[in-house]
A = this chain, B = another copy of it.
Amino acid sequence: MNVTIKMIAELSDVSVGTVDRVLNKRGKVKPEVEKRVLAIAKALNYRPNSAAKSLALRNKAIKVGILSHVQPNYINHAVNEGYKGIHAAEREYADFGISLIYRYSRNFDVESQVEELDRLLQEGISALAITPINDPRISSRLDEVISTGIPVFCFINDVITQNTHYFIGIDNYKAGCVAAGLFNLLKKEPLDIAIVFPSLSLLGNAFRLKGFEETIQASYGDSLRRAAVCIATNDDITSYNTVKEMLAGHPEVNAIFFASGAAEGGMRAISESKLMGKALIVAIDPSETIRKNLLNGNIMAAINQNTREAGYRTIKVIYDYIMFGVLPQSSFIYINSEVVIKEHFLQ
């Protein structure tokens, strides 16, 4: 038999109303009574029944803000997958009186993200999930939010704050190590590797690069070398141009670590360079473009960020906070990031 507030009430010789006031810190309780009730609750290892709780709270409709820096229909595989996970969790919790409020800021626009954030706060959200832009204005705003008592959960992308927030996503440093390991396993000759990243100002990319380079230095320095780093942004045209230019300047390149946001443009530049089919390419995430190129053999392997799982877990973690007031043990909740190849997508 599970312990209920009624049992605690009887044992503490008070009414359930008083127990409720103590456990939910609504005050207006004599200190000695409060101590007695808390002691008994702890002794009995009381945990509220989430079914009853959500039923009682049904009319309250606790709000959770979900804010992302890309538009919902923007072609961003990682974020789109993240939302699939969020929606899946939302469906599971449909009956639990938690309503998600979705907001989108203009693509990578810091001011816009701050604006939307403020709008969410005015709606009275109890928790915030965000794919933050890594910018001091965002950081400081999030710090304010956290000090208000609203916990912040960054998913997919992370940002640095003074106050503790939570990150749900892959261990990007490790993903970089894995990429290096893959090149080592797949290589038929020493490699001069070009790195195509969407942005080093996204924290994850910086960590990824660090993991990649440190692994090469520590383990594979005799056969792998970083030949160039090029930043291809999230639009296909600049992505195309940047990669094209980089390849022109680095004829020695025979391998590419391809983590561009705008894969289509980057891959087009590669295909025009005659490296296609000869260069050893490892990518991030099986987006449509990447899948196509895995299937036709141009890309050998992709490291799956599995952002769907990240989105799903984000909502789970928030649910635990809302329901039971418990926050994660660690401020990093890492999602597994494994490797996929052509055969994963046959048929």
CB of A338 within 8 A of CB of B344, answer yes
Q: Is A32 in the interface zone, CB < 8 Å from B?
A: no
Contact pattern, A 175-189, Cβ under 8 Å of B = 1, otherwise 0? 001101110011010
A258 to B2, CA, bound (A): 47
Instruction: Identify the closest chain B residue to A346 (Cβ).
Output: B177
Closest to A179 in B: B343
Number of interface residues of A (CB under 8 A): 33
Name the B residues within 8 Å of A215 (CB-CB): 343
CB-CB under 8 A from A185, the residues of chain B are 185-186, 300-301, 341
CA separation between A170 and B205, bound complex, in Å? 31
Interface of A is mostly: helix
Chain B nearest Cβ from A70, distance in angstroms = 24
By the criterion CB–CB under 8 Å, are B300 and A174 in contact? no
Those of A332-347 within 8 Å (CB) of chain B: 338-344, 346
A40 → chain B closest CB, angstroms? 20
Indicate with 1 or 0, residue by residue over A23-38, a CB within 8 angstroms of chain B CB atoms. Answer: 0000000000000000
User: Are A343 and B181 touching (Cβ within 8 A)?
Assistant: yes
Residues of chain B contacted by A188 (CB below 8 angstroms): 188
* Cross-interface CB contact of A95 among B51, B178, B300, B346, cutoff 8 Å: B51
With A95-B50, A300-B185 in contact, do A341 and B55 touch (Cβ < 8 Å)? Answer: no
Q: How far is the CB of A211 from chain B (nearest CB, A)?
A: 8
Q: Which B residue's beta carbon lies closest to that of A171? A: B344
Contact with B along A307-346 (1 / 0, CB 8 A): 0000000000000000000000000000000111111101
Are A174 and B344 closer than 8 Å at their CB atoms?
yes
From B52, B95, B174, B338, contact of A339 by CB (8 A): B338
- A96 cross-chain contacts in B, Cβ below 8 A: 51
Alpha-carbon gap, A135 to B35, bound state (A): 60
CA distance A241 to B339 in the complex (A): 33
* Alpha-carbon distance between A344 and B185 when the two chains are bound, in angstroms: 14
